[in-house]
Amino acid sequence: MPMEVKFLGHVDYEPTYAAMQAFTAGRNESTPDVLWVCEHAPVYTQGLAGRQEHIFNPGTIPVVATNRGGQVTYHGPGQVVAYPLLDLKRAGYFVKEYVYRIEEAVIRTLLHFGVTGHRVAGAPGIYVRLDDPAGHALLPQRPVKRGAYPDKKDPNFSGLGKIAALGIKVSRNCTYHGVALNVAMDLEPYSRINPCGYVGLQTVDLSTMSAFASWQEVAEVFSQKLAVSLDP
């Protein structure tokens, strides 16, 4: 049975982060999996590998250090943030498969709104062609093996914009943190950081790709796709 979905609405980041940690620390083998879906007030979050130089002009936007993987990203209004709180041991798959399933849910959600999402080798997350958002031509820089991200220092983002970012944490086989899908945002805060640690990486949303939908509509489709994709 697909996991339960809870829509949290517009919530601040830090209390939500603390609640995820508390939920994960307190769960046991019989605790049901759940998917939290929300929208955050403006915030930069820094992963465990994060370097301060990737946040060069935060201004009044707070910066929160977290225990997820990855570098810096931005959360703000107009973005659907999804936190799967999932027991991987019970689900029966490992972290690489988990990441693949999340990305697959993003791709299927984008397709629902007429946009084609792509994976890039060496850079988890989902990207779109800037010149042809609906085109289905395969990227030359796509991963060559399902779930495999080769160790590449310089992923090729030529002609692409990033539309969804992943950052996860696994504790005692249980996941928290998650994925953010950009719907209709003020994208200016991304210009003050190197998104995910990549200089010059362009960030886009559905609206800049001429796919117009409300936050609620995208949240409902995305949560449904995630619940199905993550189901064992």
Reported pTM? 0.95
Q: What's the rounded Cα separation, in Å, for the pair 43 and 114?
A: 29
Domain of 59 in residue numbering reads as 4-230
Sequential pLDDT tens for the chain (232 residues)? 679 999 999 999 999 999 999 999 999 999 999 999 999 999 999 999 888 999 999 999 999 999 999 899 999 999 999 999 999 999 999 999 999 999 999 999 999 999 999 999 999 999 999 999 999 999 999 987 655 544 556 799 999 999 999 999 999 999 999 999 999 999 999 999 999 999 999 999 999 999 999 999 999 999 999 999 999 8
Just list the catalytic residues.
196
Q: How many CB atoms lie within 10 A of CB 45?
A: 25
Q: φ and ψ at 109, to 5 degrees? A: -65, -45
DSSP state at residue 33: P
Question: What burial letters (b/e) apply to 75-85, b meaning 16+ CB within 10 Å?
Answer: bbebbbbbbbb
Strand partners, 65: 46
Q: Per-residue DSSP letters for 86-102?
A: -BHHHHT--HHHHHHHH
Are 182 and 172 within 8 A, CB to CB? no
CA 77 to mean position of chain CA atoms: 15
Q: Structural domain tally of the chain?
A: 1
List Cβ<8 Å contacts ≥24 apart for 7-10: 7/37, 7/38, 7/219, 7/223, 8/36, 8/37, 8/38, 9/38, 9/39, 10/38, 10/39, 10/40, 10/41, 10/77
Q: What is the CATH classification number for the domain harbouring 55? A: 3.30.930.10
